[in-house]
Structure 1
Amino acid sequence: MITPLLAATCILIFGPTPRQDAQGVPAAPVIELEDLAGAITRLSLDDLPVDDLDARGVAFLRCEGFMVVSQPGAMDEDVASVYLHCGAWLRGRLLGGTGESIDLALGGASQVSLSIDEVAAIRFPGRQPTSGSVLPEAPDEGDRLYLRRGAGLDRVDGLVDGFEPEGLRFQGRFGMKTHSWKEVVAVFVEQLDAPTTQAVDSPVVVDLRGGGRLGGDLQTLGAGGLEVTTAAGTELRIPLPLVREVMSANGSFQFLSDIAPSDTGPSDLFGGSEGLGMRYPAQVDRNYAGQALRTGGRSFARGLGVHAPSRLTWELDGSWKSLRLAAGLDDSALGGAYQGSVVFRVHVDGEERWASPLVRGGQGLLSVPPLDLTGAHSLILEVDPATEAFFCDRANWLRPVLVRAQ
């Protein structure tokens, strides 16, 4: 039996399912607006635009029912993850560049241009050697370029001079050279000037389908796409099929996964036997193995992926009102002989506030009622193995949202 409280929790975390046709496909694209109390309003494309979430009292905006846009594979050699100095990142197929800008195809026919002043790093995960090479890392100062050389990497320190359609111009110790994009594994760009502060009327954070997250000032969300201005003043237009969720950044809530825990507890399945290699530190917005969070056949952009036993602790400042979240075993547990069995627990100020029944792989999402955090200073999310066989105890805390007291 689902109580009204649990039903409200399901709506807040996941929202009701849009109307679907006989094949399970939403009958028409819809825009879901959700407030922090879990109330849902649905708009058709004819009801757009939306240009101010706070004025509507909206915390989350989701784009549902759009035709799936083809996304580049994460390990495709030509797919780059571009990280910006403001903390945002985008993933797409690098199209090259001109002068001080690079062009990135996000999916379908969508393209964005980014200035070198915004870019902190460009990585090509599919080009990273699988063994025998260290991971690329940023220098303490200056720019750094990593090039693929056989089964290894060459590191070149110096200065990024600019971009061209066929490659990257880099000033190294032996002079200026244009390196083909095909040989670039990673490049790190030092931020030389202090970031310019832009006036923000409607601050938002945007999660993109297929990977990517950016923050900025919402200009409008209409049938033609999402228009947002980045912290550096770059205006971007993103087609709605690529928009997963738009979230208000007014400070009224925060994803727990965006806050580093003060104590990450055990990460070794054998209580410290390092030589066995069975260490699974908690992953932010990924499952225990660094892949997409997936429970009950659905993927999630926000959450924490762990392997039991796990105990994560956060120190709070007493300003939060409640915690809203869901939980479940990751779908990756379904492929083995063992499918996992765990118990989830939440402790607040040393008191167990909620514990799940025994949860097994394949049971799907587990609803958690809103948990009171009024005046709380300590929060612990714990996952315990439920049987002697700990194999595949791959647990996910999904969309953990801290709601601030008003």
Structure 2
Amino acid sequence: MNRSRPRLKYCIIALLGLAATPPAWAASSPDWQVVTAQITQNKNLQTYRHVAIAQWSLGGALSGTRGNGAAINLSSDDIVSLRNASSTQSPTLAQWRLFLRNGDSLVGTPSSIAAGAMSIQSPLLGKLTFPLGLIAGLRRAESRVPTTVAHDHDTIYFLNGDKLDGVLEGLTATAAKFDSSLGESTLPLTRIACITLGGLPAPAQKPTLTAQLFLRDGSRLTVSELIMNATGLHAATTEHQPFACSMGDILKLHVQGGRLTWLAALPFASEQTTLFGMQWPVKINSAVTGRIMRVDGVRHHHGLGVHVNCRLTFSLSGQYTTLRLIPAMDDSAKPWGQAQLKIVADGKLLYDQPHAIPDGSAVPLILSMAGVKTLELSASDDQHDGVRGRVDWAAAALLK
């Protein structure tokens, strides 16, 4: 009796069944990529992919499982960032964006002003209220934010290009109450492009450890309290205002105040020797051209972009142990760019590359910063008249 064909049929069905069964990491939603402050043998930041998070408390630790089923337990201090591979950006139809002075912004509909605070209704987070001293302004989604904000008055920018200085006294979802030299007016929001709030910001007492959330509607918000588990995310703003959202609403999180500090986040002094009077401002988290840093084809979203004949000086106060960075020419420097690169700590030369070129040879450096008070990064012209002297101090990070 010939049973070869039925057996073949059953084998095919079994294989199809296995193919239809996703791996463990794919079955868990969402699928997280976790970057840590741990350094690998290749001098890279340790990254865990396909992580299913069971529990994470910002003040404690993260626990979960990796794609291979192995358990993972990380202290919050060791976490640099999380990225949700299962979520994509999907802007909402909300017409307004609230800008905070710390760089955060929230998409939503303005609700009210009362007791020195402004409320906004977020499609993802619900109603949130912020003290006016923390708010830089409110703008329509398609408008631009002015680069300067007055200290002694508020300003309304109208869609027709006009503007009006005064004091914002009230706000609803449809109108702004504004006191100016023209008297007290109620102005429909349909006429307004942007409102900036003057006054000095209230002194902020930032907690030691915070996380900045990036949401799928384009909002970003810093929180001081956070618990993440299967039910979603429960958090509180730095003003201790609670809110919640689903895991699918989160694109990524950046932990601030942990073991790793991006060098570009620290203040620095810049000395530049100009060529023919040309100035090249230092760029934070981009190449000196203003574009994304690229070194040997790899994009870097953290670091400092400079032109040759520039020295950066940082005050570290001896609080860090390690510096990790990739000193290199930006890919846009090809084919003629070249430079001399030096790293000096408290007057001691730690790194000297007399002839850096964009040739694919850039590698990460790990340098001891134990007890270092002053760090200098120097990029000099390599007898090439500064032609395409575009230097990246890429992925520069300090670790405690």
Q: Cα RMSD between the aligned structures?
A: 4.0
Q: Determine if the alignment matches structure 1 residue 83 to structure 2 residue 100.
A: yes
Which residues of 2 match residues 176-325 of structure 1 at below 5 A? 176-180=185-189, 183-190=192-199, 203-206=209-212, 208=214, 214-222=221-229, 226-237=233-244, 239=247, 242-247=250-255, 249-250=257-258, 252-261=259-268, 263-266=269-272, 268-270=274-276, 273=277, 278-296=278-296, 299-325=299-325
Report the count of equivalent residues. 345
Instruction: Find the aligned partners of 1:190 and 1:303 in 2 and give their Cα distance.
Output: 32
Instruction: Find the aligned partners of 1:372 and 1:253 in 2 and give their Cα distance.
Output: 14
Q: Determine if the alignment matches structure 1 residue 32 to structure 2 residue 34.
A: yes
TM-score of the pair, normalised by structure 2: 0.69
Report the CA distance between 1:268 and its aligned residue. Answer: 3.4
Amino acid at match of 1:137: T
Report the CA distance between 1:253 and its aligned residue. Answer: 4.2
Give the unaligned 5+ runs of structure 1: 1-25, 73-77, 130-134
Instruction: Find the aligned partners of 1:387 and 1:223 in 2 and give their Cα distance.
Output: 59
Q: Give 1:23's aligned residue.
A: none
Structure 1 outlier segments of 4+, above 6 Å: 191-195, 209-212
Report the CA distance between 1:257 and its aligned residue. Answer: 1.6
Contact 2:341 2:353 in 1 (8 A): yes
Amino acid at match of 2:137: I
Instruction: Find the aligned partners of 1:329 and 1:209 in 2 and give their Cα distance.
Output: 33
Q: Give 2:129's aligned residue.
A: 115
Per-residue CA deviations over 1:55-114 (Å, capped at 9, x if unaligned) read 443422433461462366xxxxx6747124xx2412x6x443222322456xxxx45644
Classify 1:52/1:96 alpha carbon distance in 2 versus 1 (closer, same or farther; 3 Å): closer
Contact 1:206 1:243 in 2 (8 A): no
Q: Determine if the alignment matches structure 1 residue 42 to structure 2 residue 48.
A: yes
Radius of gyration: which is bigger? Answer: 2
Contact 1:66 1:241 in 2 (8 A): no
Report the CA distance between 1:311 and its aligned residue. Answer: 0.8
- When you count strand as a share of all residues, which structure comes out higher? 2
Report the CA distance between 1:397 and its aligned residue. Answer: 2.0
Classify 1:116/1:320 alpha carbon distance in 2 versus 1 (closer, same or farther; 3 Å): closer
Q: Give 1:6's aligned residue.
A: none
2:384 to 388, 391, 397: 388
Contact 1:120 1:190 in 2 (8 A): no
1:398 to 394, 397, 400: 394
SS at match of 1:355: strand
Q: Give 1:99's aligned residue.
A: 112
1:375 to 351, 363, 371: 371
Contact 1:81 1:122 in 2 (8 A): yes
Contact 1:223 1:240 in 2 (8 A): no
Classify 1:279/1:168 alpha carbon distance in 2 versus 1 (closer, same or farther; 3 Å): farther
Report the CA distance between 1:219 and its aligned residue. Answer: 1.9
Contact 1:63 1:240 in 2 (8 A): no
Instruction: Find the aligned partners of 1:244 and 1:54 in 2 and give their Cα distance.
Output: 19
Give the unaligned 5+ runs of structure 2: 1-24, 62-73, 114-118
TM-score of the pair, normalised by structure 1: 0.68
Contact 1:224 1:240 in 2 (8 A): no
Instruction: Find the aligned partners of 2:279 and 2:310 in 1 and give their Cα distance.
Output: 11
